[in-house]
Structure 1
Amino acid sequence: MADQPTSGVPIELRKVTKAFPGGGEPAVRELDLDIPAGEIVVLLGPSGCGKTTTMRMINRLIEPTSGDILIGGQNSRGIDPDRLRRHIGYVIQQAGLFPHMTVAANIAQVPKMLGWDKQRIAERVDELLELVGLEPGTYRDTYPRRLSGGQQQRVGVARALAADPPVLLMDEPFGALDPISRERLQDELLRLQDDLAKTIVFVTHDVDEALKIGDHIAVMQRPGHIVQYARPAEILTNPANDYVEQFLGAGSSMRLLRLTKVGDIELDQVLYASEDADAQELRADIERDGRGYALITDGMRRPLRWIGRDHLEGREGPVGATGDAITGTISHRMTLQDALEELLNADTDNVPVVGRRQAYAGSLSLATVQNAIAAIKARERERRLRRVEAQ
């Protein structure tokens, strides 16, 4: 990828309505939605609730009957539809690759339309194949029919990213895959998003998928309106009404543990410093902190080493390469259940948590997870109590 890939932009839907001729009530009715830049927003709901129609109105594959859609602050009605679509990546179920074209030719479609030269296109194709985990030498000249379903979807994602668009639309992209391939591609998408920070609108009817990948979830109901828009943890612990609760299914603390993300809980904040920090000043900070150790990070705040008081005894000048190498990190997008497994296999009591572009966001310990579980149980009890009182 380029050193500075294009980051996502905000999307705003203002009183957007879509009524099809002879279709009775509108498919989408006066829908308001703010999609933050660089986040994955999931449109979740049953068939016929308007989620795919809503997504397709963003790139004007379907024109709104009324209302406005702003992309990066610009009204989409004022942008030529072809130009708009070339700057919005689009991924559909079963990839939608052209069967008579090689993988490279499929990925190159939009860059060719934009007038890129052959060398730049070839470099971009190889770059994207590596990004989605496909070896360019093996897959560049392969035809789609020779790929598995999961590999085709990876190519579909690469094609959508080819011109480095700020916005990515994904319409049930993993719905036709087997459970193992589906989970792997969900993980791959989250890994890519941490590096690329695109604005992603993702359509699904699968609750677990929405809870796993969404930064925010818009739960939709017929006819085309949003009944709750919130972060996954809030939707799980505080559903807006009976419809949301029934759509989510029976809740339990174990399900919350499996689907709550590390980034949704309060993390430990271990003292950290850069490699050029003064050794004796850091030793004094460690003494004051009371833990007896600190985390050393690079210039991008990525975790490198644990360092203790003993490492700094008698050392003058910058910390440099002193300390013990980090043996593993936990992604802020990892579920608490997966994080718990990582902690049980870790060499240290604390494991650094990394966020966007692998930057240090805090640390996790067994005690942190235990506190999170206790908080989840407390929220569950409060929710049940509110339901009883409401009856």
Structure 2
Amino acid sequence: MADQSTTGVPIELRKVTKAFPGGGEPAVRELDLNIPAGEIVVLVGPSGCGKTTTMRMINRLIEPTSGDIVIDGRSSHDIDPDRLRRNIGYVIQQAGLFPHMTVAANIAQVPRMLGWDRARIAERVDELLTLVGLDPQVYRDTFPRRLSGGQQQRVGVARALAADPPVLLMDEPFGALDPISRERLQDELLGLQDDLAKTIVFVTHDIDEALKIGDHIAIMKAPGHIVQYATPAEILTNPADDYVEQFLGAGSSMRLLRLTKVGDIEVDQVPYTSEDADAAEVLAEIERDGRGYALITDGMRRPLRWVGAEHLQGIEGPVGSAGDPITGTLGHRMTLQDALEALLNADTDVVPVVGRRRAYAGALSLSTVQNAIQAIKTRERERRLHRNEPGAGG
């Protein structure tokens, strides 16, 4: 399913303003924002900063007063609102499920409006329940009141994905959950995104949640403008001003370690090749590289086995099944803190890092993480020195 799904599209907000009648200052004022295709962009800020208004203008639940919102190269003004919303998934806090409908009926709402036949809808419902970690046989005919808060949110995500939209809007989707359920669903969302590559606009007031899940983060301030738009690593190490620094709270190297992602650091580039590669050529590459090993991947570049010089002695022709099976991988969205723990428990000194579609993206070792920690500490120290210089920060 993941390989055939619709991937995300770019979204651009151009000088978007929203002023409510009698509301004084605009809720959003001349906001510019480029949201790359297939990324999670988080809008974060205190109550009243315009983040939810901004998100709801994307699917025209709220109409902009001025400016333009361009979705996949087309102005949203030129798209019928109902058609627009059917191509944008929407997840809200506490799921918003219809209590009188079963789980299956809730998920089937948009496909039914699009005229899908019953067999196709039933197949899609079961596919999505499996995708979000709910057994279709157990939950298909269950009513929302019998579900926990976390289960209801999973169904809400499944419903938003039902018609395979390229864009997903998520408005404080995990805000009402307990911390354990919230963290688990954040992890599951990141796992889903690695497979689906949707364009996700996510609203939260929690900076830790934003730093954990966002590819880019827009930190907003009233009246409705962006103070800093950057990657989590850049925001942590180079906050734009005092407002951002105060919003982040007390910084420390350990906090950076906990919130910096594996994909934000420079990973090792271990040689990799396929099973049908010539063993003699692989052996020569291993000797040139100097590490003493290489990675064997499948046709989609997913890690399969480590192979060393000792595995290739006497083999003529393809590498085939030579080598030792991979016992674990690290996701590129995993935090350095989690990666460090995984490395300490790993069977090997080096572990493959995988990106989207579980494709090989590099490798990580304890020394790589140690170097990254040192770099983080250096950046943090330099940032503090800069902030304390006379005249620094304007």
TM-score of the two chains, using structure 2 as the length reference: 0.99
**Which residue in 1 is equivalent to 2:126?**
126
Per-residue deviation, residues 104-162 of structure 1 (Å, max 9, x unmatched): 00000000000000000000000000000000000000000000000000000000000
**Which residue in 2 is equivalent to 1:45?**
45
**Which residue in 1 is equivalent to 2:140?**
140
**Which residue in 2 is equivalent to 1:303?**
303
Question: Are positions 1:60 and 2:60 aligned together?
Answer: yes
CA drift at 1:390? 3.8
**Which residue in 2 is equivalent to 1:196?**
196
CA drift at 1:2? 6.0
**Superposition map of 1:156-235 within 5 A:** 156-235=156-235
The percent of aligned pairs where both chains have the same amino acid is 86
**Which residue in 2 is equivalent to 1:114?**
114
Separation of aligned partners in 2, 1:74 and 1:32: 16
Separation of aligned partners in 2, 1:207 and 1:390: 29
Structure 2 counterpart of 1:63, which letter? E
Separation of aligned partners in 2, 1:114 and 1:3: 23
Going from structure 1 to structure 2, the CA distance change for 1:304 and 1:126 (only over 3 Å counts) comes to same
Unpaired segments ≥5 residues, structure 2: none
**Which residue in 2 is equivalent to 1:72?**
72
CA drift at 1:3? 4.0
Unpaired segments ≥5 residues, structure 1: none
Separation of aligned partners in 1, 2:207 and 2:88: 25
Separation of aligned partners in 2, 1:362 and 1:372: 15
Per-residue deviation, residues 72-99 of structure 1 (Å, max 9, x unmatched): 0100000000000000000000000000
**Which residue in 2 is equivalent to 1:354?**
354
**Which residue in 1 is equivalent to 2:240?**
240
Q: Report the secondary structure of 2:33's partner residue.
A: strand
**Which residue in 1 is equivalent to 2:374?**
374
Structure 2 counterpart of 1:33, which letter? L
Question: Are positions 1:94 and 2:94 aligned together?
Answer: yes
Separation of aligned partners in 2, 1:281 and 1:86: 52
Any runs of at least 4 consecutive aligned residues in structure 1 with deviations exceeding 6 A, and if so which?
Answer: none
Separation of aligned partners in 2, 1:100 and 1:390: 63
Separation of aligned partners in 2, 1:315 and 1:23: 76
Q: Report the secondary structure of 1:186's partner residue.
A: helix
Q: Report the secondary structure of 1:291's partner residue.
A: coil
Per-residue deviation, residues 207-264 of structure 1 (Å, max 9, x unmatched): 1100000000000000000000000000000000000000010100000000000000
Per-residue deviation, residues 316-352 of structure 1 (Å, max 9, x unmatched): 0111111100000000000000000000000111000
Per-residue deviation, residues 29-85 of structure 1 (Å, max 9, x unmatched): 000000000000000000000000000000000000000000001000000000000
Question: Are positions 1:254 and 2:254 aligned together?
Answer: yes
Separation of aligned partners in 2, 1:327 and 1:192: 21
CA drift at 1:388? 1.2
CA drift at 1:6? 0.2
